[in-house]
Amino acid sequence: MLKLLGTVMILGACSALGLSAKQRLRQRLRALEAMIAALQFISSELTCRMTPLPELIAALAQSENGITRKIFGVMCKKMGQDDGLSLPYKWCRAFQECREQAGLGEEETHLLCDAAGFLGRYDAAQQVKSLEYVRRRLGDLRLAAVEELRSKGNLYRTCGIAMGIVTVLVLL
């Protein structure tokens, strides 16, 4: 009975490891898609309404998308604090702080942080142009993430289960 219980636990734990690795890949894909949509929203607002950045960030903090809501919610809270820190700094800090929880990779976090360098500094057309570049780069990363999920996602899951089986067999 104990052996059976142990076998189930080992199999379950190893499978969970594999599945969580796959889940991370899926989460990264979701985060990338959320950020692409957020940048699209910012571009549209800049083009059509010349909305100031604090209002844009506040609107994104109310987004339906959980990842967007999380990151921009943190940013919005930071913006509300009159601590003398600049908006670019707060923008970047919010992405860095929420990176792991949101599932963003290092490369896309750097890209999004770099966007702080031009946001709010130039006229709307120039900002939209720069945002378009960031969006394109995120789009490339998204395609790579889709490919990674397709190729490695099932591999991680299978490896997890296989590792569980092997461990059980070795222990038996």
Partner 1 sequence: MNMEEKRLSNFAQAITALPIRLQREALALPPEIRCACEELRLRAGKPMAYSRTGMETAFGKDPISADDLQETLGRATRYSVHSYGESLQNGFVTLEGGHRLGLCGTAVLREGTVSGVRALSSINLRIASQVPGAADAVLPSLLRDGRPVSTLVISPPAWGKTTLLRDCIRQLSEAGVRVSVADERCEIAGSSGGAPQFDLGPQTDVMDGAPKADAALILIKTMSPALLALDEITAPRDVEAVSYAAHCGAAVLATAHALDFADFKRRPLYRQLLRSQIFEQAVEISLHEGVRRYTVRALGGEQGC
Applying CB under 8 A, the residues found at the interface with partner 1 are 46, 50-54, 82-84, 86-88, 119-124, 127
- What is the distance between the alpha carbons of residues 40 and 45, in angstroms, rounded to a whole number? 9
Enclosing H/E stretch for 38:
helix 2-49
Give the nearer residue to partner 1 in terms of CB position, either 17 or 124: 124
The full length of the chain comes to 172
- What is the distance between the alpha carbons of residues 27 and 34, in angstroms, rounded to a whole number? 10
Give the nearer residue to partner 1 in terms of CB position, either 114 or 148: 114
Give the nearer residue to partner 1 in terms of CB position, either 57 or 104: 57
CA angle 151, 157, 159 (to 5 degrees): 95
- What is the distance between the alpha carbons of residues 127 and 29, in angstroms, rounded to a whole number? 25
Amino acid occupying residue 12: G
Least distance to partner 1, CB of residue 99, Å: 22
- What is the distance between the alpha carbons of residues 66 and 93, in angstroms, rounded to a whole number? 19
Least distance to partner 1, CB of residue 96, Å: 18
Give the nearer residue to partner 1 in terms of CB position, either 63 or 127: 127
Give the nearer residue to partner 1 in terms of CB position, either 48 or 170: 48
- What is the distance between the alpha carbons of residues 147 and 112, in angstroms, rounded to a whole number? 22
